[in-house]
A and B are shown apart, each in its own frame.
Chain A
């Protein structure tokens, strides 16, 4: 199922919309377990062993240079992630949200976007941020407690991290509606929006409502669900009886499960989905089947709820290793190339470290800034009273 053609919007008199066959019991079970098997519908272009395989509906031509670029992206964001995780362990960050294991899902999706497309992330989308040109150092303040995010969402076309689960899906739906109302949708030059959320978020009402709004307004919106198998301690079967991509059928748009550890497949499927949207055939749901190889956050302890066997199983499907194997097999990269990327990662990590420890404390008046676009006299009075109080300590023993 899930061929793109099958999901093309039917003509008004063409009868009921196309629907996929009922899933088999085997498919259902495969889709529900915290498993490394994505089932028969999984779109894959590069096997865990680094073998390039064909898919009847989704394919992609990549040059050696492009594949090296995807590899480099993944290595660098993984290094950023590991370094930030270490900074938390050293007390330099209050918390960190690891992306380990989800590099292919994010780099594949992020590199499928055009500069004019808009992204609405959750809070684990460090790889998408990387693809939007946001320096990794810009992510640190949120987790160090110096700010709530520093990038310009409109300039970068990357919404602030959204921490309340699922909220951003509705915000993205509204933004996509605006793209359509602006006449920015309908051909190959059109715009599209992509929003990111996890398997746990699919239980939120806002995600359901986002699916409804996206569908009834034909919004140019790609719903990109990273199913990393775990919502903190709860496996996907606590969220759904049905593989998540199959939910799309109930809303009337295509749902595709892609191997989220396969950067090529994720790139191909997301590019197709964004193109569908920019041409006016949205929305589309993508379920990127992947695995959270680290804890939910640095405050989490996965040993309390999952077996290490599962992690070992997923390590064999590492998103970066398979690309490296393929690059070597194809003779598209040599040892010097890989060493160069590692060296680049070392520099990036050192920069991140140096930047983090030197971050200044925010000034006290930051508490009061940016609450309103038009000043509130009540708040201004409260600020002035507080700053006056603070200034009373100037030069004193405080």
Chain B
């Protein structure tokens, strides 16, 4: 893959690049945000001494204390609802939801208060808070631990929704989300937590709410976010061996969508395949298909195709390989698009 474009201004020629996992990059990003702003507090279940079930907050309570890294009672509405109050008081709370399927007890607070207080007060209250959600499947877990609920939140006005796919983005996007004056749902690809990549901790990052072309190609465009970005890059590498050059775009921001790079790409390739673990009906992939047909109607050589999880509850984990989009299903869709 092409390395993410980084503006190296201000690094003084030095390149303090480290190889980090997404997990460690998130930890470093949280640490940097906490060091930069004493109002940043991290809160969630088991995030203190344990460091979180995925160890994303490992060591933070030891270094920042129990008042900035809060082991909370076990109730998601309580985590979100009290974070709202802390944000009104001037704090910048970062909530950890332990698993995607556990966010729903907090759904009411997210939709009724987090999303609407700024609007209700005509901007007098701002809620600069982040809700981190490890999401998606592929880890062989029991029910409620493998879901992709991002469309609910992208559908809700007042929230911003992003998802990182690699360590460099994980490091920077979490800091940018914390700095954002709006509430941000931050979806982390849990099955990719331990994948490694280069992170330049001094390079000034691009904007948070922007999609990015990760690989250029001419035959068709693949769009994905979170864990499916790796799947698409692997598919593009496999296709290249057969002489088919696929363009891969990492959406990064799910709300607001930044589809200008997608439109530009589809105008060149004429073909689009959208890939997500989330089921297809009334989803982010639906939205992309609708917008692209509107903006690129005369450029399309084939209908927009989608490769997604099925419109079922998440299956028992012995079936998740069949449920989740993989390299073969992506390439099968590409073949269908090319053959249209």
Contact = CB atoms under 8 A, between A and B. Distances in A.
Contact of A178 (B73, B85, B120): B85
A149 B86 contact: no
Nearest to A369: B122
A152 interface: yes
Interface stretch (B52-60, B110-118, B240-248): B110-118
A346 interface: no
A379 interface: yes
A371 interface: yes
B91 A178 contact: yes
Nearest to B75: A209
Interface stretch (A44-52, A166-174, A282-290, A315-323): A166-174
A147 B120 CA distance: 8
A174 B121 contact: no
Contacts of B256: 376-379
Interface residues of A, number: 42
A139 interface: no
A137 to B, nearest CB: 17
A135 interface: no
Contact of B78 (A170, A172, A378): A170
Contacts of B121: 148-149, 152-153, 160, 370
B128 to A, nearest CB: 8
B83 interface: yes
Tell me the dominant secondary structure on chain B's binding face: mixed
A213 B78 contact: yes
A86 interface: no
Contacts of A154: 88, 124-125
Contact of B108 (A152, A164, A176, A213): A164
B85 A167 contact: no
A209 B73 contact: yes
B84 interface: yes
A150 B121 CA distance: 7
Contacts of B105: 205
Interface string B72-95: 110101101111111111110100
A369 B121 CA distance: 10
Contact of A170 (B109, B160, B255, B258): B109
Contacts of A216: 73
A181 B67 contact: yes
A370 B123 contact: yes
A150 B72 CA distance: 33
B81 A210 contact: yes
A371 B90 contact: no
Nearest to A367: B119
Interface residues of B, number: 46
- Most B CB atoms within 10 A — which of A150, A182, A206? A206
Contacts of A182: 89
A263 interface: no
B100 to A, nearest CB: 20
B290 interface: no
Given A171-B88, A178-B91, A212-B73, A153 B82 contact: no
Given A181-B67, A371-B158, A167 B108 contact: yes
Interface string A364-384: 000001111110111100000
A90 B246 CA distance: 66
Contacts of A376: 160, 255-256
Contacts of A85: none
A154 B122 CA distance: 13
A177 B78 contact: no
B239 interface: no
Contacts of A210: 78, 81
- Most A CB atoms within 10 A — which of B73, B82, B88, B257? B82
A178 B158 contact: no
B84 A174 contact: yes
B180 interface: yes
A171 B91 contact: no
Contacts of B86: 174-175, 177-178, 181
B78 A209 contact: yes
Interface in A173-217: 173-179, 181-182, 205-206, 209-210, 212-213, 216
* A-B pairs, 8 with minimum CB distance: A174-B85, A170-B81, A178-B89, A174-B82, A175-B85, A373-B181, A209-B78, A378-B256
Interface of A: 147-150, 152-154, 159-160, 162, 164, 167, 169-179, 181-182, 205-206, 209-210, 212-213, 216, 369-374, 376-379
23 contacts: A147-B122, A159-B88, A164-B113, A170-B77, A170-B85, A171-B88, A171-B113, A173-B78, A174-B82, A174-B86, A175-B88, A175-B89, A177-B85, A178-B86, A178-B91, A205-B75, A209-B75, A370-B118, A371-B157, A371-B158, A373-B118, A373-B181, A376-B160
Given A173-B78, A174-B83, A378-B257, 8 more contacts: A154-B125, A170-B81, A177-B86, A178-B89, A212-B73, A371-B119, A371-B157, A376-B160
